[in-house]
Amino acid sequence: MRSARTNPAAPAGTDAVGDPENVRLLVAGTAVLVLALVVDLGPGVALTGYFGLGPLILAAACPPLITAGIGGLTVAVAIISGIWDHRFGTQAHIAAIILVLVQSAIAVYICVYRERQRSKLHRVQAVAEVAQRALLPAVPGQLDGTGFAARYLSAAQEASVGGDLYEVVSTSNGIRVIIGDVRGKGLPAVRLASVVLGAFREAAVTWLDPEQVTAACARAVGREAGPEDFVTALVLDIHPDGRLGMCSAGHHPPRLVSADRSSILEVRSPSPPLGLAERFTVTTAQWEVGDRLLLFTDGLIEARDSRGRFFPLDDHLDLVRGGGQEEALDRLIAALSSHAGGALHDDLAVLLAERQPAPTAPATPTVPAAPAARAAAD
C-alpha cells in the first residue's frame, strides 16, 4: 500500500453509461423517441421529422456503435411511418426521412468526437499522474522512529494534481517536514509548488534551524511568484527525543492527537505566507510515544456541506486515533466525503505522523566458556 494516494482517474476507454447524468440522458432520449412515435401514430399528425431527436440526445451518453444502431433503427421506423400516416413516398415523407438520416449521422459524429475527447482527457490524466508522482513522491511509511501516511485529493475530477504540497526529508539532526498550499489552481500553482518543494529539499539538508529553511523557501517563492502569488506553509522539525520545532507561514496549526485527548498546537507569532514574509519564528513543543500529528491544507477544514457549514475537524479527531495510520486517514477522508456530499471545492493534502517506540537493542548472547578454559581457571 502506498503511503501517498490520490483520487484515481477513470481508466481509459471506459464509458460510464451507468453514471446518473448519463442515465438521465438515456431516459430523456428514449422518452422523446417514444413520444414522437406515439403521437405520429395518431390521426392527422405527422412527426416523422422529429424521430431524429432521440439519437441526438442519446449521443451524449451512448458509445458510437450503439448510437449508430439506434440511428439506423430510427431511420427504418421513419420509412415505415409513411404507411400508417398515409403519405408513403410523398415528397414530405422523403424529406422527413432525409432529416432523420442527417440527425442520426450527426448523432454518430457527436459520439465519435466525444470518444476522441475522452481519450485525450485520459492521456492528460495519465500525464498528471506521472507529474504528481514526480512532484509528490510517496512519503516513507517509517523514518527514524516516526511513521507517516499521506493523502492528496484534487477538487477537479479531471485532474489529480494541484497546488497543495508536502514532503518528508531525513537530516542528520532528525526529520524535516513541510506541508503547504499555493494560492490559485492549475499549472501555475503546480509550477510554484514545485519551486517550494525544490527549495525545501535543498534547504532541509543545508540549514540547521527550521526558520532558516522556511526563509530559504520564502526567497525561492519571491524569485518565482507573481505579484499576487503566495504560499502558506508549515515547516516541522521532528527530533529523536520527542522535541518538535515549527515555523508557520500563514498556515493552519497541526493537531496533536494523544491516546486520551487531542489539542491544537498553537504556533507562536505566525508569519505571513511565503512570498510575503522573510523572517519566521520557531515554536517548540513535545510529543510522546504513540502521539499522532495531523498536518493538513485548508481543503480539509473549508469543505462545506449542503447547508454551507464547514467540516468540523476538531469533532472528528477521534477518527485518527487508534489502528494503522493508513486506516486512520481512510476514516477521516470518508467522514469528509460524507460531509461534503462527495464534492470537494478545493484541493486537499493531509499528512499524519506518529511517534513510534525507540527500537530496543538486541541482547548480547553470552557464550559459555570452553571446557579447557574452565579447567585452566580451576
CATH number, domain with residue 308: 3.60.40.10
Q: Please write the tens of the pLDDT for every residue from 23-57.
A: 665 666 567 667 666 665 656 556 676 777 778 87
pTM score, two decimals? 0.68
Q: Are residues 95 and 155 in the same domain?
A: no
Q: Are residues 119 and 155 in the same domain?
A: no
HSE-up (13 A, CA, CB side) for residue 189 = 19
Is 42 a domain residue? yes
| H-run or E-run covering 38 | helix 20-41
In whole angstroms, give the CA distance from residue 72 to residue 54: 12
Question: How many domains does the structure of the chain reveal?
Answer: 2
Q: Are residues 170 and 304 in the same domain?
A: yes
Q: Are residues 105 and 180 in the same domain?
A: no
HSE-up (13 A, CA, CB side) for residue 109 = 6
Q: Are residues 342 and 238 in the same domain?
A: yes
Is 29 a domain residue? yes
Q: Are residues 145 and 253 in the same domain?
A: yes
Is 343 a domain residue? yes
Whether the per-residue pLDDT at 202 is higher than 60: the answer is yes
Q: CB 62: neighbour CB atoms within 10 A?
A: 24
Whether the per-residue pLDDT at 366 is higher than 70: the answer is no
Q: Are residues 337 and 196 in the same domain?
A: yes
Q: Are residues 176 and 307 in the same domain?
A: yes
Summarize the confidence of residues 101-129 as an average pLDDT.
84
Q: Are residues 124 and 151 in the same domain?
A: no
Out of 105, 128, 151, a domain closes at 128
pLDDT at 13: 40
Q: Are residues 191 and 264 in the same domain?
A: yes
In whole angstroms, give the CA distance from residue 220 to residue 135: 16
Is 156 a domain residue? yes
In whole angstroms, give the CA distance from residue 146 to residue 360: 15
pLDDT at 220: 94
Is 378 a domain residue? no
Per cent of the chain over pLDDT 90 is 42
> Residue 207 burial (CB < 10 Å; 0-12/13-18/19+)?
middle
**In terms of residue numbers, what domain contains 43?**
20-128
> Residue for cell digits 400516416?
85
Is 158 a domain residue? yes
Q: Are residues 285 and 323 in the same domain?
A: yes
Is 187 a domain residue? yes
For the record, the C-alpha cell of 165 comes out as: 504540497
